[in-house]
Structures are given as structure tokens and as C-alpha cells.
Structure 1
Amino acid sequence: MKAIILAGGEGKRLRPITAKMPKPLVPINGIPAIELIIGQLADAGITEAAVTTGYLAEMLENSLGGECRGVKLTYFREKTPLGTAGGIIPARDFIAGDDFIVASGDSVSDISFSDASDRFFDMGRSPMIILSHADEPGEYGVVLTDGGGRVTGFSEKPSISSTCSDTVNTGNYIFPAEIFDSIPEGVGYDFGRDLFPALINEGKPVVSFCTDSYWCDIGDCASYYEANMRQTGGENSAEPGCIAEGADVKSSVVMKGCTVAPGARIDGAVLCPGVKVGDGADIGKGCVIGDSSVIGAGAVVAAGTRLEPDTVISAGSYVGGGGFSGAATLLGGGGIRFPREKLTLGLASRIGSALASVFPGGRVGVMHDGSADAFGITSAILRGLRRGGCGSILCGQGFAAEASLAAAAMKLSLSLFVCRAGEDIGISFFDGNGLYPKRETERAFVAAMSAEPSTAALPGKSSVCGVGADYYLPMLTSGGVSLYGLHCTVHGGGMAAAMLKRALTTLGAMPGDGLTLTISEDGFSLTAEQNGFVCDDWHIKALLLRYTVRGEAALPVSSPAALSDIGGGRVKRYTRCPSGNGEDGIRALAGKNPELIHACAAAVSLCTLIVRSGKTLEKLSEAIPPFWYGSFEYKSPSGRDLSVLPHLGTPAGDGVYADYFRGGVRVVPTECGYRILADAVSGEYADELIGATKREIEKRMKKQ
């Protein structure tokens, strides 16, 4: 058996560490990462390996030479990147009909390739993916398997809500030589995105070997630092002679050629080759200092700062800013939520500039709830957008559903809604369809927040727009509807209730006790009551699907299953935060039926139905089959454990779903636990399903 080591990547997320060094050469406690991998291959009996190179190829080839750790190396330099699978085609003659291992050249692990090889032959030499477990699988390709280890599906870098397992692709594989026949030549082709899904679709077996051994993809500066600290037990990783006596250096990575003068203080930082740190300089946690930079005597580099190579910081200077260290956990639950005291105006401006880099030349609108805190944060976000060169629109005061409509009606790249949420500040995100953005936008924003902020050559244009009068109210009242003779009362605080009252009055409805409508403050949920008969939000949507919505309609995948039956096969489902373009058509469809998203629009449609039919709410509901939808937020003191999800159901877009005779349960992972959604024929049975699922989660977590 031979091996192919993939070592051509640029490692953009590892900058500035990889600015002058190929990613496979980054040192792990002084040893290049790729050398550790070659050692593992040698331990498995590999004596010959091909190395595919690309970025800074000559440096990598010169560093390793023709032999390393007893393994003879042959290089294949990529002129044009063709993906992980396409990149191995040039090594076909080198493999010469042998089975072979494909190893990732930029990860660190204790994977036993010997054990994986044994599994490969035991499983009949089918293409094999080496898997591991990850606490944050959204940064990797999640792999789904059956009880026997056969691969059944993939989810590439899923959002939190779409995650259905903690089992991820490590980027290491074992193949029979015939696999080359399944890889097209001369085109971009990836193992995870293209090859394995194609094999499964053709009915060909793809198997797995799941390891409980340590594995770390050193994809960003934080994971690189953590990999080093694991190797050193939290001590410094430093070349001998780099740190002068009298310097205070703790838990840091100090690469070759660096000099740290007496009196310097460094805590939890990474210094790339050739960095010079002067007497009394102070470098904080999370800093990454690029090659050959000079930090003058007494200078202070604030925590989290990243400096590009050859940066010179003069003596006594203060340098702050840089990437936001908590970016990976910034988004969740529809946007950002921060304690008031932690969401500073500087961080808010940083959010704006990050969004500007995600949407260069685009337009982003920002609306607020009218509170002083939210207005201040809104102003700071707008400043960041302008500084980053993005068009910014102050959409004024309103409510979340109004901001959602603004994104679609004004053809914005993104719309934000900033509000007070108890002692927190919330920032909701809406894309051009008025829905939470796709995973690609989420990841691009997180990457931009982690990177050094940039300022555009020309500031973005700014403008002001009144969404309520210009777009939202006309959406509610322009259908030629008359509600004359209907008496209704609107309950609910905030601007959503005020907007609904205004719309109903414009359409001719009169205040009175006939129909009571209760709208949520965000404008997304509605309850109706008439003569003691109560209809919740999902049952109102059921009525609209039954009587008023024509043609196809789009609903969240987590909405009650009964709505699909009521819609007669017209209902399409979308996930909260999908990857790729597969749901683009369905998400666009969602905006064509505002009554299924906006509570104000649902209220107008419901009132119109009652007036035109002459029937009461109770009488109309007789055509709706009984269903009940319950939810429970399960918060675990130890956080979520994604390994329990495969035991709770099968992947179903958002989380996993288990189907029962009289209902079903969906379990969706959240930031601090799980959301349990029960869909049943009665409230009693829904409660039973929720209780049983809670007990199963607790049982599974105790076994871990």
C-alpha cells in the first residue's frame, strides 16, 4: 500500500501564520505538521508516498526533500487547483494499481492508519472515510452512517440547527486503485462534495472507520494554538535560545528565529519566524504576530490582535483591534444576542465592517425597536458598513417582521433588526427572501469577524427609508379587501400591534368584541379568539392553506406535518439555514405568501376569510383535522452532546425526526441544548412524546 498526502492548500484562515509558510509546514511543538503525518504513515508500514503541492510548493518540497521518516517522497505540483479528488489524478501512475491511503497534510491526530487499513480490508476494500468526533461539527463535513459503518449521507458544514451528528470527515481516506476511474480529469472535484455522494447515488458502497483518537484540523489560528498546547501540556513551544532570561512568556508558540528581550511579557500568543520583541513589550492572549515583525520596547499589543508579516510597532505604542476572538460562537438562534455591557459600540461597528466584506458593493438595511440602546448599536453598525464600503440604509424604528419584509421588498443584500431583549441586545438577520441567511453567509460573516478589519478606499453610500409607510402597510392594504362590518380587537404590545390596528382600520374594520387578535411583539406569531374558540398560530396557517392560499406554498421543515396534508401536496419545506443552492427556489417561494410568514398579513387574510365566508372561526376550523404542536427547550448544564442525535431519529433538514403512530418528534440542537418539537393528534400525546424524548436524551448523556 502507498499513500498520497494532500499538501497544496493555502490556509487563508491561518493567516498571518501561512503568509510566508505553506500550511503543512506549520510547526507543532517545533515539528512540521506534515512530518508528524508522514511518521504516522511510516508506523503503518508505508514506504512510498506522493505529495501534492501548490501554495509555496518549492518551500515545502525543499523542506522535506526526497525522504522523510523513512518514507520516500515523490512530488506532484498542482498548477491549477482541482479539488481534493481532482488533485490526486496526476499520481495515478505512481500508485500503479495499489490500494492507497489519502492523508490530509494539514491536520494533527493520533489516528492509527494500521487499524484503518485492517478495517478497509475487512470491509471488502470499498472506499473508506476515516471519521472522528467534533464538538463543533459545523466547521466540517458531517458523515451519516448505518449500524454497520456504511456511509448513508453527508451534510457539508451544516448550521447548528441542521446538525444531526457529531461524526465528521477527517480528510483521510483509503481507496482501492480502481477509484481513479470514478474521478473525472481536468475539472474541479472533491471527495466529500462530489465523489462520495456520486458513489452513494450509484448504489456503490462507501464505508467508514471511526476513531476515538485525538484529531484536530488546524484550519484557523485558534485550533493551531490549541494543537500546540496539547503537545506541550500548556507550556511554551519555543526554539532554544529565543527567549531571554527575565522575559515572562507563558503558554505561547515562539517559532525559529524569534528573539524575546528581557522584561517582555507574552501570554497565550503565537510568534511567527523572525519576530523581535523588545524589552518590556506586552503581547496579550490570542495575538498572532506575522513573520519578521518588530514589537518595540514597551509597546502593548492588545489581546486578539493579528499583525501581518514585517509589521513594525514603535516603542511605547499601543496596538489593538484585530479579529474578534469569539466569532465562531457569535451566531445562533436567528442572529446575534449579547449582554448589553459586552456589545460595545466598537464591536457593533466591527459587525458592520464584517458584513461589508461579506457583501462588497451591496446594500444592508438596519432597523431598531426604538430603545436607546438599540439605536446606539444601529448607528455603530451603520458606521461600520460605510467604512467597509457597503451601502447602508437606516430603516428607522419598527419590529422584526417589518425588517424581514424590508430585505425582500427593497432587494437588500441583508436586513438587520436590533432590539432590547431583557438585559441583552439582539440582532436578527434576514436575507433577500426575508428568511434567516444560508450557511455560506453565516460562515463568511464569522470568517470576516475573525479576520483583521479593513477599510474601503471609498466609503459606502448611506440613505434613510421608512419601511412601514412605504412597504409594510401597502403590503397589508393594497389587495382591494373590505372588512366593513367586522368588529375586532387587537392585543399585543409594540409596533406590530400598532401596525395591525392601522391596517385593519384602513380596510374598514371597527373596534369591538367580535374577534380578538393577539400578535407577538416581533410580528411573526398570531392567536385568534372568537366566542370562546381559540386558534393558535399554526391552526391559523392551516386555515389559510385550506381556504385562501392558491398554488404552491413554502413552510419551515419544522412546521407541523398536518400542514402538508391540509395543503394537498402543495407545501414545500425549507430548512432554517441551508447549505448550497438546493433550496433557493423554495426560499424564494416563501416570500410570495406573506400571510404564512407575517402575523399582520395572516390577520388580514383571516379577517377577510371570515367576512367573505360569513362563517365563524369555529365553523371554519371544522374542516381542519385535529393536530397539536408542542415545544420544549431542553437546556443541559453540560451543554449539548451531538452524539446522542443519531439515537433520537433520522436526519430531517433541521435536526432529527422520529415518526410515531399518532405523531412525531423533531430534536433540533441549539447553542446550549436541544429544542424538542412534538407533532401529535392531541396535546396529551404531544406532552408524552416530549417527556419520552427528554428521558432518552438524559439516558444517552449519562452513558457518555
Structure 2
Amino acid sequence: MQAVIMAGGEGSRLRPLTCDIPKPLAPLCGRPVLEYILDLLAEHRFDRAVMTLLYQGNKIISHFDGEDYKGIELSYSFEPQPLGTAGSVRHAVKDPRDDILVISGDALCDFDLTKAVAFHRQSRAAATLLVKRVEDPREYGLVNVTENGRIAGFLEKPSLSHCVTDLANTGIYILSPAVFDLIEEGKKVDFAQQVFPKMLEKKMPLYAYEDAGYWCDIGDLQSYVNCQRDMLQGKVRCSIDAPEVGGVFTKTELLSAQGAVRPPAYIGSNVQFGEGVQVEAGSVIGDNVTLGDGCRVKGGVILDGAHLACGASCVRGVIGTGARMGKNSAVFECGVLGTNAVLGDESVVPDGIKVWEGKRVPDNTRLTDNLQYGISAGILCDEDGICGRTNVSVTPELCCKIGAALASLSEGAIIAVASGDTLSARALKYSAMSGVLSTGSNLWDFGVNFESQFDFCMLKSMADYGVYISSDGAARIKIVAKGGLPLPRSQERKLEGAVNRSEYRRAESEKFGTAVDLSSLREMYAIELIKAAKENLSGIGVQIKTANAAVRRVLEDALVKLGCGLEGDFCLHISADGKQLSVYSDEFGYIRHDKLLVLLCGDYFETEKELAVPYGAPKVLDEIAAQHGAKLYRYEDCPCDQSDEYARRLAVDAPFVRDGLLMAIKLLSYLKEHAVSISEAVASIPKFGTANRFVSVAVNPTTILRKLGDGRQKIGEGLSLKVDKGDVRIRPVKSGKGVLLFAESASSETAEEICDFFENIVSGQEES
């Protein structure tokens, strides 16, 4: 008799285990489920089997290598497109002349197929469905049967109130040739949805054969784990391909692991046991697995080639082929590490969480969501904040966690939140707000801002922490400290750890925080721009260029109120975030932000004796401060200690240093006060040039800096070196994937040459 094995399913509910193999090849105690199905067919003397294939079907063909299996002649039928259960069988069997058995290639059973076929023939059925009683009928397609076994109707996964039967359709059918006349070839047709109801309608003899044997539809990870435990406990009649020693099926000599394995269990070949390993009852260990000292496997499934480091534990979870668990890491019930995935030291995959194939979980991380996209579930604050693709790596869920973690850094902290003016940025902001409020902390909502506007709101409100979210395909979450200044590294580390480990406060329902609408602070920003001018700007005309319509609107409104014209001989270029200013005219070309900063800082020193600027501001500012008898302080982008604490406090007194719109107003005010043209102002700027560059490196950048330095340099952000024609600062990026070069010299051309020189040195150090 011929059998058709339906083996084309993707096994989506078994992912990530089925990302790189078809579901019928999923291993059960060292062998694919498909082999157990073929064993059953061979036992009942089936001599031919055709497999319907679709998803990764060639891997099934390769597994059997074109050979017969225990006397069964194997053939294969590829679906040209998904044809459904009946359509795929019709495509595989062109001209049936005898009864055909249809069986699923991804369910394990030990039914008596011989008796089922005999029942089918004795009852003269057109089709016989093998059915089994189940404990929870809600999860199955049910069959309503009369006393003589004839089928009266079907129920597809009903609610409990509709469950009038507990007989489940197992997906195993015996079909007479007449059934094939109801299946249109080349069309998508389903047995349960179309063929069998049509047979009832035509009053064709449709019967059910109840078998009390074992049947498990391996539809999800829970059933995948449970099925193998049932095999080890002898609940299913099947052949496990390993010698049995005291209830342990093992291909590995266990003398060196005496007492480490409790029966029943399965141990593949060449398994390495460390000291103090515990493999508890119900566990399955594949071939070439390494279990480090102190590892514990409790009812888990460890597939071929996996490596568990010292102290790792798997409690009823699944570790995929070639996956690696770090020291003291853990995977819990139905948690999964996919093929070649890596779980970092001390990290945890909780119940039901899945890590897709090849993904890496950082050290000290507790996942709370599946890791399917990207290379890491752990957040990392880099130079631009927390960045990634919107709704891929930067999701509403992540923003909620960040809000909760930030609010948990300090008891009673006030968190301020704002976003850019896109729908996705607003949605992400609302998620961050929910996280903050869920901890019991209060927050101030600054509404929709551009970034320099947000920094002003932070300055005026003096909130403890701020979150600014922009999103336009790529999302960016900027997190700042009081006054809108960069977050210290100690706080960044606490935030990263809290998010990655899901460690944050959770308030009781009546103690959630309150959100206060402070979007009106934007109006104060407009007033502040006007106040920045020392006098009316009548007689001056400028053009404005910016990619941000809100930046243009706010600046134009301020200039018009100050009497400034919106046409002129030079153009103000404002960055989209509102933080950078450059100037262009046909007469002198572009004047970059750093030169305008030097000009305005020099003017500031005419009346003030202290000023704080970012660490990377031009070094020529130190000379200008000294010429005015003033003191210049620098604050770091990400300080590791409190050495720049005074500079950070001082920075709030000169917000124009970080605000392109304020700089623009101050520049025009300077021209009016000193009665000079823009050309004359530009001519007064000291001669210097700057250049910067990113250099990608594949090694730890600190080794490069160590070789370049002599150990006597002052500890700061990166390595500062004096060279013949200027200065250079080399700073690793936070991700460790490269270094930033900042050069300063008498001209931009020379600064670029310095960058060229050190880029070659950095690349040479990497190669050495």
C-alpha cells in the first residue's frame, strides 16, 4: 500500500528551530521525526511513500540521499506553490488505483495502521479519519461521530461551550480513489475545510477510526519538549537509536559522568561532561555537546554541537544546534536559543522567549522580548544616543523600558520627555512616558520640539533627566542630564544595565506618576531668542536655510520681531536639530560652526570671565580666554568621573554654545553692536582650521591608543597629541568599532593632512 507523507510545512510555531531545517527534520532524541513516521509505515508493511515537499524540501531529499528506507520506496513531490493539504496530495498522486494513506510528517504516533486500514475496507468507507480522544479539545479540529463510527460533522478548534465531542482529527486519513475526484488538480484545496464537508454534503461514506495509541502534534515548542519526555518515559512505542543503560539511552560512555545523569534521559555521542554536571530526568542531549563544570539541564533539549559554559543551566528550554551559553547563563521553560545563537555570561532567557539563529545576547542581560532582528538585544548608548530602525530595533516596547529604567535611576527624579514632529516619534514618546509613569515617577511633557528647543526646556525646567526622541525611518533616543547636558557614563551604564536586565521599579496601580503638560515652554524659547539680541536688528538682512520647517519658522519669527530682513547678502545655515550654525556668502564662501563659535566666545569674554564649552571645542579658545584674562572650562560628552562638574554647572550660563538659533541671533547682534559687516567679522576670526574623521577598526581601539601614547597624557576623552603642525585628539567610539580623529591646525587643509596621517597610523596599528 502507498502512503503520502505531508512534509511541506514551514513549522512557523517551532521557530527558531525550523529557521534552517524543515519541520519534519526536527530531531527527537537524536533522530528526525520523519524517520519515526517511516518506522511506523515499515512496521505496517507499507512499501511506497511519496513525500509532499515545499519549505526547504531539498534538505529532506538530501537526508535520505535518494535511498529507500527499511524496504519503503521513497519518492518526492514538490508543490509548485502552496496547494493546501488536499491539493498537495492530489499533486503527488496522479492516478490513484488503490486506497492511499495520508499522514503528517511532523506528528509522532504509534497507531495501529493495519487495523485502521482493515476498518476502512470493512466499512466500505470513501475516507476514514483516524481520531483520538484529547484532554483539551479546544486546541484541535474535532470530529462528531455516530455510534457506528460514521462522521456526522466537524468543529474547528471550538470554544469549550461548543465542545460536544473530544475526538480530535489527527490528520491521518485513508482515502479511496473516489475522494480524488473531489480535488481539483493544481488548486489550493484543504481536506478539513473543503473536501470532507463536500463529502458530507454528497452523503459519501465518511468514517472515523478511534485509536487509543500515542499521538502528538508537534505544533509548538512546548509539545516538542513534552514529546521527547514522553518518548523517554515509554509512553510512545518507538525505537530510540541508542543503547539503554539503567533507563538512560546513551551513545557516550558515562563512566566519567557517574551519577551526573538521572533516568530517563537521552545522551548522544561524544558528549563532554565537566565536573559537577547535573542532567536530570527528561533531558535530551545531542551529539558533540559540551557541558561545562557545574552545568545543569533539567528536562531541557540540547541539540548537536551546543556548548554550555561553566554554571549554565537549561530548565525545560531548548538550545539549538551549535548555540553557546555563557558562564552562569540560563534558559527557562520553552525559552529557545536558535542555531548558532550566543547567550552572554550571566544572561537569562526567561520562559517562552526566543533568540533567533545567529543572534547574540550581551553579558548581564535579561531578555523580555524575542530577539529576532539585529545583532544584540542589549541597548548601547552610542555617540548619538540609542539608535536603530524604527519598529525594528527601536520599538515602543523598548521606549517603555527605557522610560521605566531612567525613572528608576534616582528616587523621586523628574523626567522630561519630548519628540520630533513625526507620527512615529510621537508614538515612541508616548511609550517612553508610559514607562516613566509606571514606576510612580512624575514627568514633564515638553510636547513636540526640535532638539535645541528641547535643550532650552531642560535648562529652564531643571528636570533631572530628559528624553528626546526623533524618528524618520531611523529612530534616535537622546538621553540627557540636568540642564540638557550629556549623561555621565556612570548613569549610562546604570541605564543600559537596568534596561537589559529589566530591573526597574513597578508602582502599585494607585501610585502611578502624573504627567504635566509643559509644552508652553516653547513660547519661552521664542522670547529667549529675542532677548539674546542686545538691540534691534533693523538694517540687517539675511537668508535662512534649514531642513527643518519648525526651525525656520521659529527663527524667522524672532528675526522679524527684531526688525531683521529676510533677504540679504549672506545666508544662515541651521542644522535640522537646531544646534549648529554656519554662514555662507558668495564673497567668502562657507564659515563653519567652530569658527563662528570662536568669534562669539571672544565677544562673550569681553564681559564674562568664565565660560564652559564642550570638550571638543577648538583649542584656540584657550588662547583667546587667556588674552582676555578669562578662564575656559571644558565638559566631556560622557564623563567617567566628576572632574568636569564645575564646567557642567557653568555651561547653563551660556546656552548659545549649544544652540544654533541663539548663535544666529548673537551673531547678528554682534554685527549691529560693532557696526561691522559679516566680511569684517569673519576677517577678525583667528586663523585656524579643524577636521574630523571616523576610522573603522576591527580590534580593541584601546590597544591602538596605548601604542600611540606614552602613558603621560592627561586622562580625558581620548588621547590628545601635539604634532608639528597642530594638535590631534583620538577617541574611541562607544561601540568600540572605530575611532574618531579631531585635528586642529593653522588651516583646514593642514588639519585634513593631520587626519590623513593618523588614519594611516591607526590602520597600520590595527594590521600589526
When normalised by structure 1's length, the TM-score is 0.58
Aligned to 1:347: 398
- What is the Cα deviation at residue 680 of structure 1? 0.4
Give SS of 1:666's match: strand
1:558 aligns with 2:619: no
Aligned to 1:419: 470
Matched-pair contact (CA < 8 Å) for 2:541–2:566? yes
Matched-pair contact (CA < 8 Å) for 2:690–2:744? yes
Would the alpha carbon gap of residues 259 and 606 (structure 1) be closer, same or farther in structure 2, given more than 3 Å must change? closer
**Aligned mate of 2:441, from 390, 403, 427:** 390
- Equivalences for residues 671-690 of structure 1 within 5 A: 671=735, 672-690=737-755
**Aligned mate of 1:645, from 705, 708, 723:** 705
- Equivalences for residues 291-330 of structure 1 within 5 A: 299-300=334-335, 318=352, 322-323=366-367, 326=376, 330=380
Matched-pair contact (CA < 8 Å) for 1:554–1:589? yes
Give SS of 1:332's match: coil
Aligned to 2:717: 654
Would the alpha carbon gap of residues 547 and 700 (structure 1) be closer, same or farther in structure 2, given more than 3 Å must change? same
1:364 aligns with 2:415: yes
Aligned to 1:631: 692
Identity across aligned pairs (percent)? 19
- What is the Cα deviation at residue 644 of structure 1? 1.2
Matched-pair contact (CA < 8 Å) for 2:301–2:319? no
1:695 aligns with 2:695: no
Could you tell me how far apart the structure 2 residues matched to 1:427 and 1:418 are? 5
Paired letter, 2:299: A
Would the alpha carbon gap of residues 652 and 241 (structure 1) be closer, same or farther in structure 2, given more than 3 Å must change? closer
- Higher alpha-carbon deviation: 317-326 or 662-671: 317-326
- What is the Cα deviation at residue 428 of structure 1? 1.3
Could you tell me how far apart the structure 2 residues matched to 1:552 and 1:592 are? 10
Aligned to 1:408: 459
Could you tell me how far apart the structure 2 residues matched to 1:613 and 1:234 are? 83
Paired letter, 1:364: I
- What is the Cα deviation at residue 339 of structure 1? 2.2
Matched-pair contact (CA < 8 Å) for 1:416–1:429? yes
**Aligned mate of 1:665, from 713, 722, 728:** 728
Matched-pair contact (CA < 8 Å) for 2:556–2:566? no
Would the alpha carbon gap of residues 694 and 254 (structure 1) be closer, same or farther in structure 2, given more than 3 Å must change? closer
Could you tell me how far apart the structure 1 residues matched to 2:516 and 2:729 are? 43
Could you tell me how far apart the structure 1 residues matched to 2:290 and 2:418 are? 43
Could you tell me how far apart the structure 1 residues matched to 2:691 and 2:332 are? 58
Paired letter, 1:330: L
- Equivalences for residues 278-289 of structure 1 within 5 A: 281-282=317-318
Aligned to 1:618: 679
- What is the Cα deviation at residue 656 of structure 1? 0.7
Paired letter, 1:261: G
Matched-pair contact (CA < 8 Å) for 1:260–1:277? yes
* Cα distance per residue 1:21-79 (max 9 Å; x no partner): xxxxxxxxxxxxxxxxxxxxxxxxxxxxxxxxxxxxxxxxxxxxxxxxxxxxxxxxxxx
Would the alpha carbon gap of residues 666 and 328 (structure 1) be closer, same or farther in structure 2, given more than 3 Å must change? farther
- What is the Cα deviation at residue 335 of structure 1? 1.2
Paired letter, 1:399: F
- What is the Cα deviation at residue 646 of structure 1? 2.9
* Cα distance per residue 1:226-246 (max 9 Å; x no partner): xxxxxxx99675734524475
Matched-pair contact (CA < 8 Å) for 1:243–1:259? yes
Would the alpha carbon gap of residues 437 and 246 (structure 1) be closer, same or farther in structure 2, given more than 3 Å must change? closer
**Aligned mate of 2:493, from 412, 425, 443:** 443
Give SS of 2:732's match: strand
* Cα distance per residue 1:417-466 (max 9 Å; x no partner): 21136x42111122113221111111111221232344223222212221
Could you tell me how far apart the structure 1 residues matched to 2:525 and 2:574 are? 16
Aligned to 1:13: none
Would the alpha carbon gap of residues 683 and 235 (structure 1) be closer, same or farther in structure 2, given more than 3 Å must change? farther
- Higher alpha-carbon deviation: 256-265 or 364-373: 256-265
**Aligned mate of 1:260, from 275, 284, 298:** 298
Could you tell me how far apart the structure 2 residues matched to 1:268 and 1:596 are? 53
Aligned to 2:383: 333
Would the alpha carbon gap of residues 525 and 651 (structure 1) be closer, same or farther in structure 2, given more than 3 Å must change? same
Could you tell me how far apart the structure 1 residues matched to 2:484 and 2:300 are? 57
- In structure 1, runs of 5+ residues without a counterpart are 1-232
Aligned to 1:476: 529
Aligned to 2:604: 548
Aligned to 2:632: 571
Matched-pair contact (CA < 8 Å) for 1:497–1:521? no
Could you tell me how far apart the structure 2 residues matched to 1:257 and 1:678 are? 52
Could you tell me how far apart the structure 2 residues matched to 1:555 and 1:242 are? 60
- What is the Cα deviation at residue 667 of structure 1? 1.0
Matched-pair contact (CA < 8 Å) for 2:282–2:298? no
Paired letter, 1:463: V
Aligned to 2:513: 460
Would the alpha carbon gap of residues 433 and 237 (structure 1) be closer, same or farther in structure 2, given more than 3 Å must change? farther
Matched-pair contact (CA < 8 Å) for 1:264–1:277? no
Alignment RMSD, CA only?
A: 3.8
Aligned to 2:656: 595
- What is the Cα deviation at residue 701 of structure 1? 1.3
Would the alpha carbon gap of residues 555 and 373 (structure 1) be closer, same or farther in structure 2, given more than 3 Å must change? same
- What is the Cα deviation at residue 683 of structure 1? 1.9
Give SS of 2:279's match: coil
Aligned to 2:670: 609
Give SS of 1:433's match: helix
Matched-pair contact (CA < 8 Å) for 2:366–2:502? yes
Give SS of 1:386's match: helix
Could you tell me how far apart the structure 1 residues matched to 2:668 and 2:273 are? 69
Matched-pair contact (CA < 8 Å) for 1:640–1:669? no
Would the alpha carbon gap of residues 645 and 329 (structure 1) be closer, same or farther in structure 2, given more than 3 Å must change? farther
Aligned to 2:284: 247
- Equivalences for residues 228-247 of structure 1 within 5 A: 237=274, 239-244=276-281, 247=284
Give SS of 2:601's match: helix
Would the alpha carbon gap of residues 612 and 301 (structure 1) be closer, same or farther in structure 2, given more than 3 Å must change? same
Paired letter, 1:486: I
Could you tell me how far apart the structure 2 residues matched to 1:251 and 1:524 are? 55
* Cα distance per residue 1:327-386 (max 9 Å; x no partner): 766111041111222222212211111112113321212221112222221111111111
Could you tell me how far apart the structure 2 residues matched to 1:607 and 1:432 are? 29
Query: Whose RCO is larger (CA < 8 A, sep 6+)?
Result: 1
Matched-pair contact (CA < 8 Å) for 2:611–2:631? yes
- What is the Cα deviation at residue 394 of structure 1? 2.6
* Cα distance per residue 1:547-584 (max 9 Å; x no partner): 23422111122221111112234211122111222211
- What is the Cα deviation at residue 323 of structure 1? 4.2
- What is the Cα deviation at residue 684 of structure 1? 2.1
Would the alpha carbon gap of residues 252 and 544 (structure 1) be closer, same or farther in structure 2, given more than 3 Å must change? farther
Paired letter, 1:690: C
Could you tell me how far apart the structure 1 residues matched to 2:291 and 2:665 are? 62
Matched-pair contact (CA < 8 Å) for 1:406–1:467? no
Could you tell me how far apart the structure 1 residues matched to 2:410 and 2:612 are? 26
Could you tell me how far apart the structure 1 residues matched to 2:613 and 2:637 are? 10
- What is the Cα deviation at residue 669 of structure 1? 0.9
When normalised by structure 2's length, the TM-score is 0.54
Would the alpha carbon gap of residues 693 and 277 (structure 1) be closer, same or farther in structure 2, given more than 3 Å must change? closer
Could you tell me how far apart the structure 1 residues matched to 2:337 and 2:297 are? 19
Aligned to 2:546: 492
Paired letter, 1:516: C
Paired letter, 1:577: C
